[in-house]
Structure 1
Amino acid sequence: TDYWWFSAKRSCTQISQNVSNYGNNGNVRLFDIDQGKRCYNLPTIRNEVYLIRGIFPFGELSNSSFYVSIGVTQLGAVISSKLQDLKIEGVFRATKNYTDFCLVKEKVNPYISRVELRPLPEEYLHDLPTSVLKLISRNNLKGEGTDNDIRYPVDKSDRIWKETSSPSYAVPLSSNVSNFDPKTNMTPPLQVLQTALTHPEKLEFIHNDLETEDYEYRVFLYFLELNSSVKAGQRVFDIHVNSEAKEGRFDILAGGSNYRYTVLNFSANGSLNLTLVKASGSENGPLLNAYEILQVRPWIEETNQTD
């Protein structure tokens, strides 16, 4: 409930919607305002990294648009023209003991069904002291299955991992492997890592839904070797983003652990082509268990003025 923030119902209306992710008759807060914004003032710890997620239902309020921001940093626009709930998720570093998650009126009154705030590992914003990340895609790679999302309590950070089986030519792998030492906080839950896609020569992941403006992006790739017979040097591959080489002769087992992740930073507009190609002399083709795509946005400092 958001009664703590908006106990007065003068500018807000409670309506019932069929919110697909949370069962029938879900509660939606509709802000009936002439202009400006309404903000949820959320408690945070200064310098800690957080995931923040707003969920916006489809239904009678479709074909509408308004903006979502963290403080005064715009995160995205809610354009609910599709027959599914919309999630807008960001990653930020708190600059004080509270953070505002705001809905900014554009052409229609803003609305929301849920706000979620979760702590995240520091590594998400490593070397990005003045940036906010907007989630584009978070993928759990596996074969055709039940299409069940994985999130809390399996993922202690409540990241939502969407099952993905493309590219269709890839070979799905699965294993009940549990003996891995990640040596880092930057890891998906084991249930995500226990499946992967592989191919004797090449894996290619194409995303054509990026914004058409030029933005910086950060991609996290997660690898857990599921074949216990593979040794270091036997599965080596090159990693390319939009035909640009990013990692050469990448070996999951090179560091002595069967788990490894890497971070790729690049500029793009409109589309992303992530390609893993078997390296010369390797016995096995590439493997990937999961990946995340995040857009880098500049953090805008708030002033002391009242909006």
Structure 2
Amino acid sequence: MRYAVFVSIDCGASASSIDENSITWVGDDSYVKSGESYVVQTLGEVAHVATTLRVFTTNKKNCYSIKVDEGDRVLVRATFNYGNYDKKSSPPNFDLLFNGNLWVNVPGYNSSLLFETIYTVKGDSVSICVAQTYPNQFPFISALEVRSLNTSMYRHVDPNYPLLLSKRVAFGTNQTLRFPDDTYDRIWQKTAMAEGLNKVKSDTSMITVDVEDHPPKSVIQSGIVSANLSTYIILLPTLATVEIPIYINTYFSEVSKLNLTQKRSFEMYINYNSTTTSPIIPPYKSVLEMVTTGINASASTQFVLIPSNDSTLPPLINAMEAFFIGSELTDGTNAKDVDALTLLQKSFEQLQESSGDPCLPSPYTWDWVACNSDPRPRVTALYLNGLGLSGTLPDLSSMDALQKIYLQNNNFTDEVPEFLGSFPKLTELNLANNKFSGTIPVSVSQRKDLKLNISGNPGIADTSPATPTPPSSASNTQTKSLVLVLLGAILQTYIFCWIIVGL
């Protein structure tokens, strides 16, 4: 049995609440360790959960973490409502990230913004972060939602790529639909009616929805049709100004039982090219889903439903979902480094505000690490100096790509750990101004390629080679006497030899 996730976080709120859709919202204190809560100054027509927000004034990025099963297919939705909370009438611009990937730039708008993505999680958690992009423009978030999906849903895209929602529309409905109508809590927006189109409603409630992406029955029961055979339905999926890969689901269900003289048959054309090998014929009491992908499209691309030559009825459509296909998902920072950093955070409370992927996306690394540019980055430096850390270091020997370790100006105690000499690429190790004691491990002290600083640790024994002790004054006197005796003996021998030779 897979663990189903249905989490609704009211960011900045301290209490739980239940909304008009019977969704339970919880405060965010248990999901994030940083930031400050605010209440918006201008309400407008926003949901209750958008009246509070959490603002982050420290760290490069600040993240929420929600536990899921590894390999889960999830829908994640983030809402932002500035609401002039700071009374400055200046909404910030910042980046939104997910699991080490750039999601979108959140522009500085006064209006409420909502972003949604669907992707397969590579680890065991959903990590959603906001990252500061400009000085004094502090990121914030109003609401965060995570929903588990069936792993077979939206399966016509490589699981290494995310779907970024552009539009989800329920044609013909008079209100926005979501949970409990949609078990997966997708939000189906109502849409304005264009000229030449009519709303229609199914004459039966006995509709079997057995297509792979499971649209709710209430969405399928309504739709729009062209006023006549000479009027086409032009779909507007709200795409980017440049061509990018897209993924579009369209749903069709006949609204009444046709007699033998009636036929509804049409094709979808993209820029005047048919996308179907056979005409679309909406079934009665069931649903036809059509997936369009494997193509690039932009805002100038035309999507048109045109009746077949033998059709007696105009085109009909009930619902549409349009996505961009995002960049390939990262595998994240090397697992050995992540595990070691987690151990380090468990040991020191001062490090626990850092969350999300330690290295990705660049440049939003944790404030106290540096990383290389490998596809799965390695941590190359630890900047733990001056953070008020005390106690002993946990074993970090698995971080074998480390080149620099700065531990100075803290209160580390006990002996210098032996593992600090095990890093093959280490060139700098600064242990200055701590409370280390004992001796420096030979694996550290005898590294000729290592720049080592141990100053300011009075408890560390001096392990430098001993300097020869100068002889005492008494020894000097004895040495002088011995020299005089030897010199006298030499002179006597020399005189004796001279006398003999003289003879």
Q: Secondary structure at the match of 1:198?
A: strand
Relative distance call for 1:260 and 1:141 in structure 2 (3 A) is same
Letter in structure 2 aligned against 1:26:
T
1:274 corresponding residue in structure 2: 303
Relative distance call for 1:233 and 1:120 in structure 2 (3 A) is farther
Relative distance call for 1:271 and 1:68 in structure 2 (3 A) is farther
Greater helix share, 1 or 2? 2
User: In the TM superposition, what whole-angstrom CA distance separates every residue of 1:102-158 from its partner, at most 9, and x where no partner exists?
Assistant: 112112211001110012232213341210010000001117x4xx31111111111
Distance 2:211 2:299 in 1: 32
Letter in structure 2 aligned against 1:14:
S
Relative distance call for 1:170 and 1:25 in structure 2 (3 A) is closer
Q: Check if 1:177 corresponds to 2:204.
A: yes
Q: Check if 1:51 corresponds to 2:75.
A: yes
**Cα offset for 1:218?**
0.4
**Structure having greater relative contact order (Cα 8 Å, sep ≥ 6):** 1
Q: Check if 1:93 corresponds to 2:117.
A: no
1:27 corresponding residue in structure 2: 52
How many residues are matched? 296
Distance 1:136 1:12 in 2: 29
Q: Secondary structure at the match of 2:182?
A: coil
- Which of residues 93, 98, 122 in structure 2 aligns to 1:65? 93
Which structure has the larger Rg over C-alpha atoms?
2
Letter in structure 2 aligned against 1:57:
N
Confirm or deny: 8 A CA contact 2:132 2:138 kept in the other structure: yes
Confirm or deny: 8 A CA contact 1:50 1:94 kept in the other structure: yes
Confirm or deny: 8 A CA contact 1:198 1:286 kept in the other structure: yes
- Which of residues 180, 189, 202 in structure 2 aligns to 1:162? 189
Distance 1:32 1:66 in 2: 12
Relative distance call for 1:183 and 1:270 in structure 2 (3 A) is closer
Distance 2:90 2:44 in 1: 13
- Which of residues 85, 106, 112 in structure 1 aligns to 2:141? 112
Distance 2:138 2:211 in 1: 43
Cα RMSD (Å): 2.3
- Which of residues 107, 110, 120 in structure 2 aligns to 1:79? 107
Distance 1:30 1:230 in 2: 60
User: In the TM superposition, what whole-angstrom CA distance separates every residue of 1:241-276 from its partner, at most 9, and x where no partner exists?
Assistant: 2333212412223xx863111100120133442210
Distance 2:77 2:282 in 1: 32
**Cα offset for 1:292?**
0.6
Greater strand share, 1 or 2? 1
Distance 1:232 1:160 in 2: 38
| Higher deviation after alignment, 44-53 or 225-234 | 225-234
Confirm or deny: 8 A CA contact 1:51 1:120 kept in the other structure: yes
Confirm or deny: 8 A CA contact 1:19 1:25 kept in the other structure: no
Confirm or deny: 8 A CA contact 2:50 2:81 kept in the other structure: no
Confirm or deny: 8 A CA contact 2:96 2:128 kept in the other structure: yes
Gaps of 5+ in 2: 1-26, 338-357, 359-364, 366-503
Map residues 1-307 of structure 1 onto 2, 5 A cutoff: 1-7=27-33, 11-17=34-40, 18=43, 20-23=45-48, 26-33=51-58, 35-60=59-84, 62-82=90-110, 84-107=111-134, 108-121=137-150, 122-142=152-172, 145=174, 148-199=175-226, 200-201=228-229, 202-207=232-237, 209-229=238-258, 234-247=263-276, 248-253=278-283, 258-265=286-293, 266-298=295-327, 299-304=329-334, 306=358, 307=365
Letter in structure 2 aligned against 1:71:
N
Gaps of 5+ in 1: none
Relative distance call for 1:244 and 1:64 in structure 2 (3 A) is farther
Relative distance call for 1:171 and 1:188 in structure 2 (3 A) is same
Relative distance call for 1:232 and 1:127 in structure 2 (3 A) is farther
